[in-house]
Structure 1
Amino acid sequence: MFIESLRSLYNRDLNKLKAEIEAYQNEENLWKTDKNIANCGGNLCLHLLGNLNSFIGAELGKTGYVRQRDLEFSLKNIPKAELIAKVEATVIMADSVLGQLSDDDLKKEYPLEPLGYEMTTDYFLIHLITHLDYHLGQINYHRRLLDI
């Protein structure tokens, strides 16, 4: 089933996000920027969590999550342990919500048009995993470049 593949990929990549945050040797470097690097690892992590909790949790799972997107990029110095706990909660949320979806649900139109056009739920869930992976790569690079 396609939904099982999605659950597996979200679980895998959110756990990679957790591992990246854990791998920062110096907690302060999570929030460091430099020259042409405008977004730090901590803010990219918050952005990913806000994105998934909004589009999967609130929209598909009716979790009641309210996104504050501006804060995803303006908050600073959140303890690493708190970020990790937020990632762990997002892993649980995503798996739970995705586990409740049927193949028929995936073929339905996604309730919003966040990309500016109509799309099916499965299409948007694929988009969200690619968005997660794009920023996961940025966090990995940020850590290796600036966590010295």
Structure 2
Amino acid sequence: MFTVTTLSLLDKELEKIQQALSRLTDEDLWKKPREGMNSAGNLCLHLAGNEYHNIVSSIGGAPYARERSAEFLAAGGFTRREVSERLAAVREKSRSVLTRLSEADLTREVTVQYPPEAGIASSQRQTLELLYHVTVHYAYHTGQILYITRLLQEKDEHLLQWRH
């Protein structure tokens, strides 16, 4: 089933992020490669917010509970452990939603709601399309987190099995 594949892919990306977080200090978590860019911590908060918003809230029907701009404005306040736990907690909520979906639910239209102050238009999307979006979005930012981690490491150690 598509939802099992989605969870498997998202879980693999979360494992990569957790590996990267284990290589950073709490201070490094909030270092930005340069001004105007995001830290690994910002990206982790953003991933947790995005996953909750799209899967738990939009698909699962939980109340909207996100301060999107705060994900990018944070400059600390969370440890690596707390960020990792937040990502894992959201994943468990997503798992609960996705394991209850039927094949018919994948074609159901859901509303991706944003508050007016977010500056992003709310939209209707098919569940399947939204899950694809969340998975691709998660993988994209995972790559950024891994790259930032490599930049901040003292030694040139590879985080994954590949040498690039």
TM-score normalised to structure 2 length: 0.80
- The correspondence of residues 12-91 of structure 1 with structure 2, limited to 5 A, is 12-24=12-24, 26-35=25-34, 38-77=37-76, 78-91=78-91
* SS class of match (1:111): strand
Larger radius of gyration: 2
Where does structure 1 lack aligned partners over 5 or more consecutive residues? none
Residue 39 of structure 2 aligns with an amino acid whose one-letter code is C
Q: Which has the higher strand share?
A: 2
| Residues 116 and 8 of structure 1: CA distance in aligned 2, closer, same or farther (over 3 Å) | same
Deviation per residue, 1:76-112 (Å, 9 max, x gap): 2211111111011022111111111111111112323
Deviation per residue, 1:59-86 (Å, 9 max, x gap): 2223335110011011222111111110
Paired residues in the alignment total 147
Structure-2 separation of matches of 1:115 and 1:100: 28
The Cα RMSD (Å) is 2.1
Tell me if structure 2 keeps the 8 A contact 1:57–1:63. Answer: yes
- The correspondence of residues 69-148 of structure 1 with structure 2, limited to 5 A, is 69-77=68-76, 78-112=78-112, 118-148=124-154
Question: Sequence identity of aligned pairs in percent?
Answer: 34
Residue 108 of structure 2 aligns with an amino acid whose one-letter code is K
Structure-2 separation of matches of 1:63 and 1:139: 28
Tell me if structure 2 keeps the 8 A contact 1:40–1:142. Answer: yes
TM-score normalised to structure 1 length: 0.88
Tell me if structure 2 keeps the 8 A contact 1:41–1:139. Answer: yes
Relative contact order, CA 8 A, sep 6+: which one is greater? 1
